[in-house]
Amino acid sequence: MKSRENSQLKEYTSRNGEIFYIDENPDLCIPFGFNLGDTVKDTYFGTGKVIGTFGGKIYFQFDGEEISTFSDCSLQSLQSTLMIIKREKKNDIFRGIIDGHNVNIDEKRAPKWLTEYNFNLRDVVNTEYGIGFIKGTLGYNVIVEIFCTKELKQVSVFSLTLIRRLSKEDVIVNKLSFSNKVIPVLVNFTMKDSYYPYDRILTDKGLATVIGKNITKDGYWIQTDDALKLNLGLVETKNTKYKIIRRIGYNEEFSIINYGDKFYPGDIVEYNMKFYIVKLFPSPNIIIFNSNEELELNLGLGLEINCISRSGFPFKRECFSINHILVPLDLQIEHFRGMRVLPGDIISTPNGKYCVMGLMNSESIWVKNEDSNNVFTLTFQAFYDPNLIRVIDSKGSFN
């Protein structure tokens, strides 16, 4: 066989004189997690180079050895066995651990296929595991470091949602406005911008998340918490003086998140039967505030401060059911989209007033009776009937 479509065949002769071919098409090496020409190291064979593929396998030339391959050429097996020690004349491949297995992660070069899908290294993205940033690639998979857990996760590029990119070049994503129209939103930013995408801000309409700049760059599109719970779209603001209460990933006064902490900046908490926003952590203290006061509390004193809701990051709080069983309730507000309530909302029902506690397994909403403190479950459908349930106070929205 002298040629094959889309192939770059090179002829070799085995030790017993048989002719065989290796395909040097560099694109065919990528699914195995390697680039053509990578220098690799194996504990048994020593140092070698990636020379190509053929017949569903990838081939190597190890020092002093004939061309060889492995019986198991699966991505996981090869990555666990071989360490990339040089790529493109540089020794800069990161050796990481994903789900307990060693892998080679290229965190310096964004491959063409990644940029073709409008992603780049260091982009902040949303994944099925939570918010994180693109650390590198492995084969045709994206490696994301999750903010909350610091874990590395291997995900498909098709499962990612772009949140922001540090860049002067325009990066546009389409979103829905409050009036249900498709709008272009710029999710790129510079360090001089008033707001960054995914900032949490306190506006005259309550708490909101910045999504990005408008197309004329003279304002911002934001998602208010009240619009989120009604499954409504973004509103535009040109006010750049709103208080920023959380920023992810940059070492500024309002941006620090220590992932081992019980609370995050921007959390809504209850203390002494009042609602507050978490501001800072001058360890071992916590600073919380609302429209009436700002308090600095010592967490080491065992004060009863309960997190009511959190935006952008997973959070569960255990509550006792009416049968005195501890139940984990989901308090991440994004999971309440379209449910017409948020944690901390006070609702009126024919049976009295209740406070919304959280979600149970995405199946029901748990509420607590204001008088008896007993906890009950309500179906999602009940919240769509204004004759059954009506929100009378949104203390956690700060509007």
Q: How far apart are CA 173 and CA 182, in angstroms?
A: 10
3 pLDDT more than 90: no
pLDDT at residue 398, as a whole number: 66
Task: Note the pLDDT of residue 314.
Answer: 87
Share of the chain above pLDDT 70, in %: 93
Structure confidence at residue 255 (pLDDT): 47
Helix (H) / strand (E) containing 332: none
Is the per-residue pLDDT at 197 higher than 70? yes
Contact indicator for 358, 334 with CB cutoff of 8 Å: no
Can you give the pLDDT at residue 257?
Answer: 52
- pLDDT at residue 254, as a whole number: 46
Of residues 325 and 138, more confidence is placed in 138
Residue 234 in 3-state DSSP?
Answer: strand
More confident residue, 65 or 268: 268
- Residue, of 375 and 5, whose pLDDT is higher: 375
Q: Nearest 5°: phi and psi at 384? A: -95, 0
CA dihedral of residues 100, 106, 110, 112 (deg, nearest 10): -90
**CA separation (Å) from 62 to 47, 48, 68, 97?**
6, 4, 8, 25
145-152 LR contacts (CB < 8 Å, sep 24+): 147/248, 147/249, 147/257, 147/259, 147/313, 148/259, 148/313, 148/314, 149/259, 150/259, 152/96, 152/97, 152/98, 152/105
Tell me, what's the pLDDT at 253? 46
Amino acid 260 reads G
CA–CA dist 383, 234 (Å, integer):
23
Which helix (H) or strand (E) is 213 found in, with range? strand 206-213
pLDDT in tens, 145-183: 998 888 999 999 999 999 999 999 999 999 999 999 999
Nearest to 320 by CA among 271, 274, 366: 366
pLDDT greater than 90 at residue 273:
no
| Burial classification of residue 120, based on how many CB atoms lie within 10 Å of its CB (0-12 exposed, 13-18 middle, 19 or more buried) | middle
* Prediction pTM value: 0.86
**Any idea where the domains of the chain sit in the sequence?**
9-86, 94-166, 172-246, 268-309, 316-397
pLDDT number for residue 346: 92
94-166 classified as CATH 1.20.990: no
Pairwise CA distance, residues 367 & 354, whole Å: 6
**pLDDT higher than threshold 70 for residue 189:** yes
Would the pLDDT of 377 be above 90?
no
Q: Mean pLDDT in the chain?
A: 88
Q: Name the residue with higher pLDDT: 382 or 157.
A: 157
What's the CA gap between 311 and 78, in Å, rounded? Answer: 39
Position 187 pLDDT exceeds 50: yes
Which pLDDT score is estimated for 399? 59
- Give the model's confidence band at 318: pLDDT under 50 very low, under 70 low, under 90 confident, else very high: confident
Q: What is the pLDDT of residue 88?
A: 84
Asked if the model's pLDDT at residue 242 lies above 70, the reply is yes
What is the layout of strands, in order, in the sheet containing 285-289?
Answer: 294-298, 285-289, 274-280, 268-271, 306-309
From 79, 72, 41, select the one nearest 56 (Cα to Cα): 72
